[in-house]
Amino acid sequence: MNPSPCSKEAEIAVIGSVLVNPSCFKEIDLAPDDFYFGASKETWVIFQELSTAHKVIDVVTVLQRATEKNLDSTINMDYLIGAINDTPSSINYGTYSEIVKDKAKRREFIRIAEKLALEAFDEKIIIDEKIPGVLSSLINSSRPSKTMEHISKPLSELYDDIQDKIEHPQEVWGLSSGIPGFDRITGGLQKKEATIITGKPGTGKSLLCVQFGFHMAKENHGGAIFEMEMNNLQTLRRQLSIESGVEVYKMKSGKVGEGDETLLTKGIDEMTGMPVYISDASSWTTSSMRSELTRLKMMYKIEWFILDYLLLLKDRYGANEIERQNYISIAVKDICKDLDLVGLVINSVNKTGQTSGSNQIQHDVDNNIMMELSDQNTPATEANPLINLVWDKQREGIGASRIMTLIKKPGFPCFYENISNESQFKPTGRKQDYRTQ
């Protein structure tokens, strides 16, 4: 008789994927009994126990739990490190888990068929009476391992969250953007949410997102910038202009004034100490983004990312461009939700002035903010125009529809909130402070 269907390589790869990328555990639809090999089965039980207890899943915590359960003879350092080393790529955890699930279903079908064969040979049994049981077994074998839960559990979590907010009340319950009016509308930039900044070329989408990102970094909230449109030097030159108070054109031309070099050096020193990670590679996909963000979250505790911009991702999923865009939209939203990150995603507009891409993008995003020239602009403001932020969609916040106006800082790549009292802007020395005091 042929051996039971199984794949030791796939089981090891699933274990290794979770150890490398713990956030994928919640996405893998496997139960302990889906594993054929004892070490894999017991390791999966430990993963479940750690997840239920809201503890991190890594080599140290798994080893500790295995020791407590007297399983350290099989689930040891060599086994866990071997699983990590034998995993070709944690990005492919979905493929590995599908193989494990397929083998488990085949074993279950064999078990059902063998039981049915034995009963078929027993002529004392009324075979028609066995059919409902067989059908039920087949249906159960295809059920997901992670089923519905009673609302009491999430309600308990909601109660704890409300109590925490009552004990620590605050106007901004997310991460501050650095622009008070924006934070009043949104409550700050929220983790698990994808915010799309949409607008015509030149309205300042990238400027605004990077400005938000570096403000969060100044408050010790680290993040990552996927700069797929520009290069790293362009992005950082703009931000250095804000930090140093030295105009971009001076850096590009070399025609700096007295004291500018000192200001630039000080600005670079300050930026070097900020928890910001950046890449201008053009080859990013949603899968490689997820893997890299997982690594950065584990190692550096990042809390946000910027994607510039959405439809430049190189995913090749689907039979046509619409299916590809749908896939990208869902995947980026899932990254925000699963990794507990603020997502600032830049997108363009189409010929009709709407968000580029499929309707799925508008459905998936939590906040869609249009950047557009204000009709209050005059010839005097053409060099530094007024820009409206219009919330085309806001899943949660203070109000269903909001609009605010920004002023571009003359000569500098940053925005102020449009308030009439100019004295409320208080720059610190030569260094330009884009925050409203």
Give the CATH number for residue 115. Answer: 1.10.860.10
Whether 258 is in a domain gets the answer yes
Examine the domain organization and report whether 134 and 188 are in the same domain. no
pLDDT at 406 over 60: yes
pLDDT recorded at residue 155: 86
Q: What's the angle, vertex CA 349, arms to CA 344 and CA 350, rounded to 5?
A: 145
Number of domains in the chain: 2
Same domain as 416, residue 326: yes
Last residue of a domain, one of 119, 141, 163: 141
Instruction: Tell me the β-bridge partners of 287.
Output: none
Q: Which domain holds residue 24?
A: 8-141
Residues 88 and 207 in one domain: no
Residue 118 structure tokens? 């034995």
**Which of 93, 111, 141 is a domain's end point?**
141
On whether residue 150 sits in a domain, the answer given is: no
Tell whether 169 is covered by a domain: no
Same domain for 260 and 350, yes or no, is yes
pLDDT of residue 381: 65
Q: Which pLDDT tens digit goes with each residue over 114-169?
A: 888 888 888 888 877 776 676 666 656 555 555 567 888 778 888 888 898 899 88
Q: In Å, how far are 229, 300, 327 from 193, measured between CA atoms? A: 22, 20, 17
Pull the structure tokens for residue 227.
Answer: 């700069």
Q: What is the mean pLDDT of the chain?
A: 85
Judge if 229 and 117 occupy the same domain: no
Q: Is residue 175 part of a domain?
A: no
| Whether residue 190 sits in one domain with residue 137 | no
Q: How confident is the model at residue 323 (pLDDT cuts 50, 70, 90)?
A: confident
Mind listing the pLDDT tens digit for each residue in 157-187?
Answer: 888 888 988 998 888 889 999 999 899 888 8
Residue 167 in any domain: the answer is: no
Q: Are residues 34 and 105 in the same domain?
A: yes
Q: For residues 211, 366, 25 and 16, what is the CA-based torsion angle, rounded to 10 degrees?
A: -40
Q: What is the pTM of this model?
A: 0.65
| Of 60-74, 129-143, 315-329, minimum mean pLDDT range | 129-143
Same domain for 376 and 241: yes
For β-strands 223-227 and 304-308, DSSP reports them as: parallel
Specify the CATH number for the domain of residue 279: 3.40.50.300
Give pLDDT, residue 409. 83
Last residue of a domain, one of 120, 141, 162: 141
Whether residue 192 lies inside any domain: the answer is yes
Same-domain pairing of 128 and 219:
no
Q: Are residues 135 and 237 part of one domain? A: no
Instruction: List the one residue out of 267, 285, 282 whose CA is nearest residue 214.
Output: 267
* Same domain for 217 and 125: no
- CA diameter of the chain: 103
In this structure, is residue 174 part of a structural domain? no
**Residues 217 and 306 sit within 8 Å (Cβ to Cβ):** no
pLDDT in tens, 276-308: 999 999 999 888 888 788 888 878 999 999 999
Q: Which band of pLDDT confidence, cut at 50, 70 and 90, is reported for residue 427?
A: very low
Say if residue 209 is in the same domain as residue 350.
yes
The answer to whether position 408 is within a domain reads yes
